[in-house]
Chains A and B, each alone.
Chain A
Amino acid sequence: MLKNITLGQYYPVDSWVHRLDPRVKILLTIALIVAVFLVRSMVGYAILLTFIFLASCLANVPFRLMIKGLKPLRFILILTFLLNLFFQSGGGEQEILVHWWIITITRAGLRQAVFFSARLALLVICTSLMTLTTSPIQLSDGIELLLSPLKIIHFPAHELAMMMSIALRFIPTLLEEADKIMKAQMARGADFESGNLIKRAKAMVPLLVPLFVSAFRRAGDLAMAMEARCYHGGEGRTRLRVLKLTRHDLFAVIAVALLIGVIILERAAMPDGWPL
């Protein structure tokens, strides 16, 4: 019921991509996001998509799963498409494709709509590649280490990473719990699906109250358990998994660097001001 959320859902298989250093993966994902913004034409997107497809093959992750990550965003995607389609203004070719009542669709508008929805979709797919192949624990380790230089200016890198990994750790647990409570209330005739907005919001009370009660109970238990094992913040704390860069990380960096090179060439090949 609440289980089909791919974004941030680790896909636990072993692969070359899974074994990459999380710090490298985070930085490369940021590089890929930059690449998405550099692209100026559908050709560029095709190159990026091919790259990600190959990476997903290397990662043993079904490409289908990444596409599925787009599903929760489908309304935003559709909205982006429609807004761009109808409200393209000035510039480009003004060749009119459809003109009906107050609606005008120009060729440039269509192109812009496709372009921006593709950009949004690719952004999500790029990040999905990282979150599918990096366990939440690795992810927060990576973030902590990347942010640790900021400790000099008293930035709470460790606390932030700890909060994040705890939050990530409890998302599936709470989802499962919510699913269970929802079913228990449905067994008592609760109706979560029909009625107007106010009625539906009211229907959430029997779900949210037990969920909060149990979240607070869990939080209390966890704090107690951590304290019982002498947790006292990040200072002087050593790590169980020491992250080390390997040859494979270098390969990954080279591959992405090459990709960005290609994208920059593509950008240079496009006429100025395109696509807007």
Chain B
Amino acid sequence: MSIQLKNLTHVYSGGTAFESVALHDISFEIRDGDFLALVGHTGCGKSTLVQHLNGLLKPTSGQVLVDGEDLNGEHVDRRKLRMRIGLVFQYPEYQLFEETVAKDIAFGPKNLGLSAAEIEERVRTAMAQVHLNYDKYARRSPFELSGGQMRRVAIAGVLAMQPKTLILDEPTAGLDPHGRDRILGIVRELHQSGTTVVMVSHSMDDVARLATRVVVLAHGSLLADGTPREIFRQREMMEEAGLGVPEASRLVQALRARGLDLPDDLYTQDELYDHLLRLWKEANPC
């Protein structure tokens, strides 16, 4: 399933004193199997953009095409579509409402109209995906859990619909490093098992570790779109967009400035490590 944005523009509160252009003429395509990282400074329109991808917001002008068909066309069942394109909001733990964790996760599958047995099965699978023990947590109230656990329940609630494409809006915001790694691990597993992933993130290191593609927004416009390697070598552009580059890239720049023979497009720690090891071996042939 491909999602294509065509000249997407979104204006909030058009025609009033509060009018603000949140997105301006954005075009790009999300292809099957992508792990697309959406990055940009605070308020650049990332959350606005992801809400267009499953039809929760209507573009002021421009189109969102899903498999070539206009998402906001007349005969499109957007409710059905939303279940194929799962969206996890920023701070999704605030959407929990049921008495028990299992019931809350079952909300999506129930809306799909599945049978009780199937729903049960999906809840179990989704809880396993987010590493929550079914026997321990299924009967607990979601309001008694810790913030990180609530976040995982909320993500499971979207995964239980088994979407082909998963969109996550800053899934790690406000979590401790341990909770963050946990969520990112879950997202990585999902991508490896074939889900197309779109993730909004403020951490360039996370993007460097996970993404296969990076889209950079600045002030509501598309600034750059490419592989992490292409994006992170443009250090000045990334600084100007208020983002910076991964730690490894920064280190590479500093080392190159001191005359070390390193390629300028390294961006992961592993790569840098390999190159440094090579240099060290060349310098100390034993």
Q: Name A's B-contacting residues (CB within 8 A).
A: 3, 11-13, 65, 177, 180-181, 183-191, 205-206, 209-210, 213-214
How far, in angstroms, from A13 to B19 measured CA to CA in the complex? 13
| Contact of B89 with A189 in the complex, beta carbons under 8 Å | no
How many Å from the CB of A201 to the closest CB on chain B? 15
How far, in angstroms, from A141 to B82 measured CA to CA in the complex? 46
| Contact of A189 with B112 in the complex, beta carbons under 8 Å | yes
- For residue B129, CB closer than 8 A to chain A, the reply is no
How far, in angstroms, from A181 to B89 measured CA to CA in the complex? 9
How far, in angstroms, from A162 to B78 measured CA to CA in the complex? 44
| Contact of B56 with A183 in the complex, beta carbons under 8 Å | yes
How far, in angstroms, from A225 to B82 measured CA to CA in the complex? 40
Q: B255-286 CB contact bits vs A (8 Å, 1 = yes)?
A: 00000000000000000000000000000000
* Most chain A CB within a 10 A radius of its CB, from B89, B95, B108: B95
* Most chain A CB within a 10 A radius of its CB, from B96, B97, B158, B161: B97
| Contact of B95 with A181 in the complex, beta carbons under 8 Å | yes
User: Which residue of the partner chain, among B17, B79, B97, B158, contacts A210 with CB atoms under 8 Å?
Assistant: B97
Return chain B residues, CB-CB under 8 Å to A186.
Answer: 56, 79, 82
- Say whether chain A's binding surface is mostly helix, strand, loop, or mixed: helix
How many Å from the CB of A106 to the closest CB on chain B? 41
How many Å from the CB of A214 to the closest CB on chain B? 6
| Contact of B108 with A189 in the complex, beta carbons under 8 Å | yes
User: Which residue of the partner chain, among B98, B111, B158, contacts A190 with CB atoms under 8 Å?
Assistant: B111
- For residue B193, CB closer than 8 A to chain A, the reply is no
Tell me the B75-125 residues at the A interface (CB within 8 Å).
Answer: 79, 82-83, 86-89, 92, 94-98, 107-108, 111-112
How far, in angstroms, from A186 to B95 measured CA to CA in the complex? 11
- For residue B51, CB closer than 8 A to chain A, the reply is yes
Q: Which residue of A lies closest to B88 (CB)?
A: A187
Query: A191-B79, A209-B97 are known contacts. Are A12 and B17 too (CB-CB below 8 A)?
Result: yes
| Contact of B96 with A210 in the complex, beta carbons under 8 Å | yes
| Contact of A188 with B161 in the complex, beta carbons under 8 Å | yes
User: Which residue of the partner chain, among B13, B83, B88, B95, contacts A189 with CB atoms under 8 Å?
Assistant: B83
| Contact of A13 with B17 in the complex, beta carbons under 8 Å | yes
How far, in angstroms, from A190 to B109 measured CA to CA in the complex? 10
| Contact of A65 with B107 in the complex, beta carbons under 8 Å | no
Q: Which residue of B lies closest to A191 (CB)?
A: B79
- For residue B9, CB closer than 8 A to chain A, the reply is no
Query: A13-B17, A183-B89, A189-B161 are known contacts. Are A210 and B54 too (CB-CB below 8 A)?
Result: no
How far, in angstroms, from A210 to B153 measured CA to CA in the complex? 14
How far, in angstroms, from A10 to B87 measured CA to CA in the complex? 33
Q: Which residue of A lies closest to B82 (CB)?
A: A187
How many Å from the CB of B141 to the closest CB on chain A? 11
Give the number of A-B contacts (CB < 8 Å): 66
Q: List 12 A-B contacts (CB under 8 A).
A: A3-B13, A177-B94, A184-B87, A184-B94, A184-B95, A187-B86, A188-B82, A188-B95, A188-B108, A189-B161, A191-B111, A210-B97
| Contact of B97 with A184 in the complex, beta carbons under 8 Å | no
Tell me the B143-178 residues at the A interface (CB within 8 Å).
Answer: 143, 157-158, 161
How far, in angstroms, from A214 to B143 measured CA to CA in the complex? 11
Return chain A residues, CB-CB under 8 Å to B92.
Answer: 184
How far, in angstroms, from A210 to B142 measured CA to CA in the complex? 11
Seed contacts A12-B17, A187-B89, A205-B97; 6 additional CB < 8 Å A-B pairs: A184-B94, A185-B95, A185-B107, A188-B82, A189-B107, A189-B111
How many Å from the CB of B279 to the closest CB on chain A? 49
| Contact of A187 with B87 in the complex, beta carbons under 8 Å | yes
Q: Which residue of A lies closest to B47 (CB)?
A: A180
Return chain A residues, CB-CB under 8 Å to B88.
Answer: 187
| Contact of B111 with A188 in the complex, beta carbons under 8 Å | yes
Return chain B residues, CB-CB under 8 Å to A13.
Answer: 17
Return chain A residues, CB-CB under 8 Å to B89.
Answer: 180, 183-184, 187
Query: A13-B17, A191-B79 are known contacts. Are A206 and B161 too (CB-CB below 8 A)?
Result: no
Q: Which residue of A lies closest to B109 (CB)?
A: A189
Return chain A residues, CB-CB under 8 Å to B98.
Answer: 209
Return chain B residues, CB-CB under 8 Å to A184.
Answer: 87, 89, 92, 94-95
How far, in angstroms, from A209 to B89 measured CA to CA in the complex? 17
Return chain B residues, CB-CB under 8 Å to A189.
Answer: 79, 82-83, 107-108, 111-112, 161
Q: Which residue of B lies closest to A3 (CB)?
A: B13
Tell me the B24-52 residues at the A interface (CB within 8 Å).
Answer: 51
How many Å from the CB of A68 to the closest CB on chain B? 9
| Contact of B94 with A214 in the complex, beta carbons under 8 Å | yes
Return chain A residues, CB-CB under 8 Å to B111.
Answer: 188-191
Return chain B residues, CB-CB under 8 Å to A12.
Answer: 17
| Contact of A210 with B161 in the complex, beta carbons under 8 Å | no
* Most chain A CB within a 10 A radius of its CB, from B13, B87, B111: B111
How far, in angstroms, from A181 to B96 measured CA to CA in the complex? 9
